[in-house]
Amino acid sequence: MWRYSLGVNVSKKNEIKLLFFENKCLSENFEGAPTISDFSSQYNSLKEAHRTLTNTNTDDILDFFDEISKKIIERDGVFQKKFSEDGINFLTYWFRKNFLKKALSESIRTDLSALDGYIQLDKKNLITATPKGIITHWLSGNVPILGLLSLIQGLATKNINILKISKETGMLIPNFLHEISKINVKKSNNRLIKGSDICKGIAVVYFDRDNTNAQEYFSKISNIRVAWGGMDAVESVMNTKKQYGTEDVIFGPKKSFAVIDKTQIDSERNVDLLCQKLAYDIFQIDQRGCNSPHNVFIEKNSKLGSKFFAERLSIAMKSLASKSPQQYYSSLETLNILKKRTEYDMFYEAYYPESLEWTVLYADNSSIEDACFNRTIFVKTFKNIDDILNECSHLTQSIGVAMEEKKLIKFARRAALRGVDRFPKIGTMTLYEVPWDGMYVMDRFVKWTKINN
């Protein structure tokens, strides 16, 4: 299971910040976190902790996660007080036992007891799902909470997990892990599941992007490298030296859009319902996810017209903005939005408030626009489905759909062959599902071993 590679040490001039280790957040702020020049001691401690995790029953791990989901939604609880503004709420269902149990079953395609030991495959063979070992997760800085998706799956498959976070993330992840490690669950037989046992195999570190020694060290001790982020970030991980057999799971830059068939907007009521659902998809984490829509294509010759849809969408956006304050801003994105507002005011149609809370930009053409983020949506039109297929590639993550079923299945088949991963209904685009990015991630986190009788 393990591949030891301790010959690579991190020199003193290339320090690592240790932010979370042995169930403790090690500082109240990023600057005060301890620095280390060598990770070998922590490496050995993680291996020791792994023995406890591998001996923990999968059902106990799922019960622990389920308790986390309950704690997160407690109105006056610590998680709402500390993390509600950081987007933790929309990931609550990933901690729920029913969801995670189903996700695990789909991923490993056999009985979950295979994660706890050998099970009978047939009359002659036994099989088990063995954790790969060490998973190092390189998390993005724009929406760090998404990195918990791969961490949850790494824990559910009983792996050691090292999280390399961005400086922009601050102490969000270490503080969150510190809180969940304090959670205990008492089973019906009075047996106690300790969060400290499950989380002891987690470490959170930071090192500068130019610290190639640290980058290579963590790459070489990893059995799985998970990379989240933009092209530069994921390619930096992919291009770092690794041991033979180390696998990469990449969640890189992808784009998503929505498509609406004219039959789905044949009344004002249907238009308003779809606009509300689409606005919800747009507002989730301010379009920071690869599954967030930035363009919506309306089929031409609809009963009420595509411009009418854009107008009603602006009303839905305004209504939702009053309940959901914006969280993410950047000067570059602000400049891009102002430029696009000016362009569309001059040549097309634009709907927006005095602030930058949201923007709807409408043009009667099928040209896809680059993402502006910050709740900015381009409403476009299409004449036939080939207009949409021409915009599909392996970099298209999700296409939100409002379409008749037969037409949808035919379209999805053709779009999938061009590289598209998923076709959720509008209103559910920003759900994080299994499979994700075209793969069953938890299956990638285990190795299948077999005994022949």
Sketch the domain layout of the chain as residue ranges.
16-252+437-452, 255-417
Among the listed ranges 27-36, 80-89, 311-320, which one has the minimum average pLDDT value? Answer: 80-89
Give me the pLDDT at residue 190, please. Answer: 87
* Residue 300 banded pLDDT, cuts 50, 70, 90: very high
> Do 255-417 and 16-252+437-452 fall under one CATH topology?
no
Tens of pLDDT, residue by residue over 323-344, are 887 866 678 889 999 999 999 9
pTM of the model as a whole = 0.92
- Name the percent of the chain lying above pLDDT 90: 85
The continuous run of DSSP H or E covering 193 comes out as strand 192-194
Q: What is the mean pLDDT of residues 262-277?
A: 97
255-417: CATH topology is Aldehyde Dehydrogenase; Chain A, domain 2 (3.40.309)
User: Over 50: is that where the pLDDT of 10 sits?
Assistant: no
> What whole-number distance in Å separates Cα of residue 110 and Cα of residue 298?
42
* Residue 2 banded pLDDT, cuts 50, 70, 90: very low
Tens of pLDDT, residue by residue over 148-180, are 999 999 999 999 999 999 998 889 999 999 999
Label residues 159-173 b or e (16+ Cβ within 10 Å = b): bbbbbbbbeebbbbb
Q: DSSP character for 50? A: H
Give me the pLDDT at residue 13, please. Answer: 53
Domain 16-252+437-452 classified CATH 3.40.50.510? no
Give me the pLDDT at residue 78, please. Answer: 94
Half-sphere exposure of 411 (CA within 13 A, CB side): 26
Give me the pLDDT at residue 90, please. Answer: 78
Give the torsion sign (CA, 415, 418, 422, 427): negative
Residue 433: which residues within 8 A CB-CB, separation 6 or more?
422, 424
Among the listed ranges 5-14, 94-103, 196-205, 309-318, which one has the minimum average pLDDT value? Answer: 5-14
Among the listed ranges 13-17, 279-283, 427-431, which one has the minimum average pLDDT value? Answer: 13-17
